[in-house]
Amino acid sequence: MGKKKGGKRLTKRDIAEAIQALFQAHPGETLSFKQIFKALKFDTHPVKMLAIDVMEEMEWDDWLSRVSDNSYKLNLKTQVQEGTFIRKANGKNSFQPDDGGKPVFVAERNSMFALNGDRVKVAFMARRQNHIKEAIVTEILERKHDQAVGILQVEKDFAFLNAEGNFFTSDILIPKKKLKGGKTGEKAVVKIIQWPSAESKKIIGEVVDVLGKQGENNVEMHAILAQYGLPYKYPKKVEDAAQKINAEISAEEIARREDFRDVFTCTIDPKDAKDFDDALSIRKVGKHWEVGVHIADVSHYVTEGSIIDREAEQRATSVYLVDRTIPMLPERLCNFVCSLRPNEEKLSYSVIFELDDDANIKDWHLAHTVIKSDRRYAYEEVQEILEGKDGDYADELRTLDTLAKHLRERRFKNGAVKFDREELHFDIDDNGKPTRCYFKKSTDATQLIEEFMLLANRTVAEFIGKAGKTKKSEDPNKPSKSKGKTFVYRIHDQPDPQKLENLRTALAPFGYKVKTSGTKGAISKNLNKLMEESQGEREQKLVETLTLRAMMKAKYSTHNIGHYGLAFDYYTHFTSPIRRYPDTMVHRLLTRYQDGGRSVNQDHYEELCEHCSQMEQTAQYAERDSIKYKMVEFMADKVGLEFDAHISGVQSYGLYCEIDDNHCEGLVGMHDLDGDYYEFDERNYCLVGRRTHHKYQLGDAVRIKVARANIEKRQLDFILAD
């Protein structure tokens, strides 16, 4: 069928219409080239080649989906989708579909004034030749932020707020009568009362709180919290409810619990900690060691649905800024009533292990207990004892350390990924000013606590998760299936294959081999090997950064897929109910199921899990911003000084460099890279000079000079020193 009736040759348009009609007549079916050519009587080579080109274009336009190298099917996915709007300062906005598909470009004129993070509905536009795919916002479903934080500017007839962060595109207009006493230069929290529309592009708001003078430590920390919609004050009615809680432990309550008051028990925490979530006990029982992991019994005091519980659920987590903790629970509960303070009788929920000398579990059980901590240790004290210094209960601590080392060794042998996390810390003076900036490294003392917490979390998750797999039937050789009970898991998916491929490409020039496929264990062992081999090498930072980026984020869910990073099939969060709401949920579920209760509503708990995961991420953003603020404050008197650094991030607009000595990070803008025009090589994480081919790669050592320290924008600017 090289020609139409009447002898005319088939045009590209004729072929496209014929293919369209054929696929629309067979929706859902995969058609091979052979079937298509036969059905449409495309029997000459030029027509077949033109048809293949047309189908490739139809795939490009998302009209067809490629199934294999020589087959397609109709793309039934609707051309209208819901997802998240991502606003960029450079105007290159995008739409991120809910189904996890690739982001799609949204021009400013087609954005319907959507703001960063808003949930939107879009329609995909017909793709123009040689143009990228575009979407147009048709409806704003939900606003991500309805309040803003910034600096007030009060004029004669009107006022406005210069908003911080990248959520709002313009200043927010404030009627004079809605100022709540705010003055020019003060920081304020403003609630939006009118969004932009076709009639008016203005955003109008009202002041809900005046935080105070810009630059004051308290004001700046409260501003960071308010910017993310996090609370910076505790509601008085919730604190009043906490004051009314009876902290006395009755004889009847003690009688209902296992009594560990006479067993050596201690807490090990940072030296400035006030809330003690967890304690460890140890004693010799026959040939074995009985180790108790005792967790504050928050759910005994905070009843489900109470005013305190509703506030804790909403907060979902304590927030840790550089100089303060914004607790999930009222201070009376988190620092006093629930906290496992030394020499005080406390209620706890405990996992009691019987371990042999190699830390193999011989037996274990879950119990509500009463304990009395003999000693409150700081990590530094325990570390000194583990290194040989004399101290209280040294033998017990060293035995716990030996058992923890066996647990740790076994975990890595089973495929856990070995990230020795370094945490950035500041020493702060009485006015909140940072006097020192440094990384805290993991030690034997911190790892001792970590291993027993991991063991408890894994064990209780298995207790519920595995019980759902099978139940005993009359024939012991034929276990019958039973529906598992709803539970809260901490899950962590396998690395993104595309990110592993990017890792492989980036590390190949250095001679590293990266496994991009295989079993979970094989990939994680390969990642551990990469990090071990790069220790002390020039590219060590590059390897560590890219490996970390390949990892997915851990989150909470009722749907268990295991925890990839820890190499556990079942994992949960049981050990920190004072500062994490999911742990309180876990305590309640375990108590319910231990008492023979029925499974809870999974959909309701999945919603809670999503909320907790989201709040955890928001808290991390706020923590990061407080670190950035303190970094800039710390470097403010060092403008003009030079430091050794390394490239910690590469972007199209410049290089992020981290100072080796104090770990403060700043940006060398693209305009400050002299002598050449540099292009961004995203796949290989580097900038390459167009003329000289000079390369700036992630992890490279550089010498920088501090150019500017902008406290308002929480931004450090560096230039490369000669």
pLDDT at 125: 64
Query: pLDDT tens digits, residue range 670-709?
Result: 999 988 899 998 878 889 999 999 999 888 899 999 999 9
In this prediction, residue 113 carries a pLDDT of 83
The label of the residue with tokens 């551990």 reads: 528
- Higher pLDDT: 474 or 593? It is 593
> How many C-beta neighbours within 10 Å does residue 632 have?
22
Strand spans (E) along 469-595: 470-471, 480-481, 489-491, 555-557
Q: Is the pLDDT of residue 262 over 80?
A: yes
pLDDT at 543 over 90: no
What's the average model confidence in pLDDT over 84-110? 84
Q: Among 85-99, 232-246, 348-362, 444-458, which is the least confidently predicted range?
A: 85-99
Global pTM reads 0.82
Give the mean pLDDT of the chain. Answer: 89
Instruction: Quickly tell me which residue has 């390394």 as its tokens.
Output: 646
Distance CA 130, CA 623 (A): 43
Q: Are 92 and 107 in contact (CB under 8 A)?
A: no
Q: Which of 193, 200, 190 is nearest to 163 (CA)?
A: 190
Average confidence (pLDDT) over 201-224? 91
- The helix or strand, by DSSP H or E, that contains position 649, with its residue range, turns out to be strand 642-651
Cβ within 8 Å of residue 555, ≥6 positions away:
490, 491, 492, 609, 613, 616
Q: Give the mean pLDDT of 608-637.
A: 94
pLDDT band of residue 80 (cuts 50, 70, 90) is: confident
Q: Supply the pLDDT for residue 337.
A: 97
Predicted local distance difference test score (pLDDT) of residue 483: 63
Query: Tell me, what's the pLDDT at 2?
Result: 58
Compute the distance between CA of residue 460 and CA of residue 589 in angstroms, rounded to an integer.
Answer: 11
Instruction: Give the pLDDT of residue 535.
Output: 84
Q: What is the pLDDT of residue 22?
A: 87
| 669 or 28, greater pLDDT | 669
More confident residue, 442 or 340: 340
Contact 679, 690 (CB under 8 A): yes
**Averaged over 345-370, what is the pLDDT?**
98
Picking from 360-374, 561-575, 674-688, which range would have the lowest pLDDT averaged per residue? 674-688
> What digits encode the pLDDT tens for the residues 400-437?
999 999 999 999 999 999 877 677 889 888 888 899 98
- The answer to whether the beta carbons of residues 673 and 686 sit under 8 Å apart is no
For the stretch 713-722, pLDDT in tens is 889 999 999 7
- 277-285: average pLDDT: 97
539-577 CB burial, b ≥16 within 10 A, e <16:
bebbbbbbbeebbeebbbbbebebbbbbbbebbbbbbbb
Of 532 and 451, which is predicted with more confidence? Answer: 451
pLDDT at 170: 78
pLDDT of 88: 79
Q: What is the pLDDT of residue 129?
A: 53
Pick from 317-321, 404-408, 495-499: least confident:
495-499
Mean pLDDT of 151-165: 88
β pairing state of 80-86 and 30-32: unpaired
Q: What percent of the chain has pLDDT over 90?
A: 61
Give the pLDDT score at 474: 45
Furthest CA-CA distance within the chain = 103
What is the token pair recorded at 408?
A: 């740790």
Q: How far is CA 176 from CA 43, 146, 158, 161, 211, in A?
A: 77, 20, 6, 12, 18
pLDDT (tens digit per residue) in 222-238: 999 998 889 988 999 99
DSSP strand pairing (172-174 vs 30-32): unpaired
pLDDT at 475 over 50: no
What pLDDT does residue 7 have?
Answer: 55
531 to each of 409, 481, 537, how far by Cα in Å? 17, 42, 10
